[in-house]
């Protein structure tokens, strides 16, 4: 491959590094704010008001985007990422949090069928 063939890949990689670099401090600051809000609300996760829930959704979406960018970046660099890698743990965790937030917003954890009486 010629150097000109790799140019778009290099541009993509440098863009990902720039985004990753800018998101990391933002995520740290948002995690600190989230912890502060939990303390203010008495630590009750079920007591999160709609405004705080919206903040949690945004924070989780940003964390998911950050983990996805880290995954793409690592793959572009040729790193092997298996299911036990910390990036995969982060992606799974973000997806789980988004699912719980969505369920809470919709008023429960979905339809549950009682077995027996």
21-41 pLDDT, tens per residue? 777 777 777 777 777 777 776
What is the H or E stretch that residue 61 is in? helix 50-76
pLDDT of residue 117: 47
Tokens of residue 58, six digits: 């945004």
In degrees to the nearest 10, what's the CA dihedral of 98, 80, 72, 21? Answer: 90
Q: Identify the pLDDT of residue 45.
A: 53
Q: Residues 42-100: pLDDT tens digits?
A: 655 555 554 667 777 777 777 778 778 888 888 788 887 777 777 777 777 777 777 77
This model's pTM is above 0.95: no
Q: Where are the domains of the chain?
A: 10-103
């Amino acid at each position: 491959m010629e150097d000109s063939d790799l140019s778009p890949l290099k541009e993509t990689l440098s863009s990902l590094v720039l985004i990753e670099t800018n998101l990391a401090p933002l995520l740290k600051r948002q995690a600190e704010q989230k912890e502060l809000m939990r303390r203010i609300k008495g630590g009750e996760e079920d007591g999160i008001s709609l405004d705080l829930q919206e903040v949690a959704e945004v924070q989780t979406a940003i964390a998911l985007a950050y983990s996805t960018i880290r995954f793409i970046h690592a793959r572009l660099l040729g790193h092997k990422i298996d299911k036990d890698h910390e990036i995969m743990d982060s992606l799974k965790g973000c997806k789980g949090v988004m699912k719980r937030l969505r369920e809470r917003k919709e008023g429960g954890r979905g339809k549950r069928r009682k077995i027996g009486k």
